[in-house]
Amino acid sequence: MTGRLAGKTAIVVGASRGIGKGTAIRFIEEGANVVLADWEPEAGQATADEIGATFIQTDISKYADAEAAVALAVSKFGRLDIIVQNAGIYPWQLIEDTSSADWDRVMGVNLRGSFHAAKAAFKVMKAQRSGRILFTSSITGPYVTSPGHGHYGATKAGINGFIRSAALEFSSFGITVNGVEPGNIMTEGIQEGRGDAHIASMLAAIPLGRLGSVRDVANAFLFLASDEASYITGTTIVVDGGQLLPEGNDFRLVPTGN
């Protein structure tokens, strides 16, 4: 490891498993102090103990919880350099079966939670005149979708719009705001909630021929969190194995010879 985040303090929201956990691990490998903020107390604490992070139970849909996570990071480590808002929920629901309460719950975690994370972190980063605010978006919503993802897709498209607005407003204070848009990543949620048939259909649509790993996404977050990305703001990195590229299903070439 190269110490690309040595001396930095990061909060990763939604990090008890999956992409968030992978990102927290990657940050720690590169020298960061990490506060793991997650709404699941037992799973979150267990992950924090496993990887060497500090845990705080956080419901990011509540602004007071976002403020508490930021306050913990500052009190323990003296500053806050990076926040990754990765918390998100994606219940499979057709639009006709989605109640207003269902809609509000997804919006509350995914989209309002992104606003809360940014606002709470900005207070500290503004005073420091530096910082990285990062979000997990998705290719679902901004580019593609499938039945059952109406609320989820709307939140991810909303996050992309928020990234651009926040990047512009925060730019005068040395703060960059960016996101990562994963495609189909092999996480516990995919394995448990979608099943083999879904995974097989996604594999058929990905030119690189595999689902992404959480480390693939974590490496994108690491770049955006590092000094190497100091001149990048208001944008997203797509990590999807080329899934957005084909115009149709007949895209695979069979190599013949050298």
| Count of the separate structural domains present in the chain | 1
Active-site residue numbers? 152
pLDDT at 197: 78
pLDDT of 142 over the 70 cut: yes
Comparing 76 with 258, the larger pLDDT belongs to 76
Residue 64 belongs to a domain with what CATH number? 3.40.50.720
Percent of the chain with pLDDT over 70: 97
Residue 141 pLDDT class (50, 70, 90 cuts): very high
Q: What is the mean pLDDT of residues 72-94?
A: 97
Instruction: With respect to residue 257, please indicate whether it lies within any of the assigned structural domains.
Output: no
Domain-embedded: residue 71? yes
Tens digits of residue pLDDT in 101-138: 999 999 999 999 999 999 999 999 999 999 999 999 99
Question: Could you tell me where the DSSP H helices lie in the chain?
Answer: 18-29, 41-51, 63-77, 100-106, 113-128, 150-170, 188-193, 195-205, 214-225
Give 252's pLDDT tier (boundaries 50, 70, 90): confident
Classify residue 251: in a domain, yes or no: no
In a domain, 244, yes or no: no
In degrees rounded to 5, what are phi and psi of residue 234? 80, 25
Q: In this predicted structure, what is the pLDDT of residue 258? A: 61
pTM, two decimals, is 0.95
State the pLDDT at residue 257.
66
Can you tell me the distance from the alpha carbon of 154 to that of 103, in angstroms, rounded to the nearest whole number? 10
Instruction: For residue 188, tell me if it sits in a domain.
Output: yes
For residue 231, is it within any domain?
yes
- Cα–chain-centroid distance for residue 6? 21
The predicted-structure confidence for 189-217, as pLDDT tens digits, reads as follows 676 656 777 788 888 899 999 999 999 99
| 258 is a domain residue | no
Reported as a single tens digit per residue, the pLDDT across 54-79 is 999 999 999 999 999 999 999 999 99
What is d(CA 137, CA 15) in angstroms, rounded to the nearest whole number?
A: 15
Domain span including residue 119 = 9-239
How far, in Å, CA of 51 to CA of 21, rounded?
9
What does the pLDDT read at residue 210?
Answer: 94
**Phi-psi domain of 242 (left: phi exceeds 0; alpha: psi -120 through 50; beta: other):** left
Per-residue pLDDT, 94:
97
Cβ atoms of 243 and 207 within 8 Å: the answer is yes
Tens of pLDDT, residues 223-239 = 999 999 999 999 999 99
Residue 192's pLDDT is what? 64
Establish if 50 belongs to a structural domain.
yes
> If DSSP codes are grouped into helix, strand and coil, which group holds residue 237?
strand
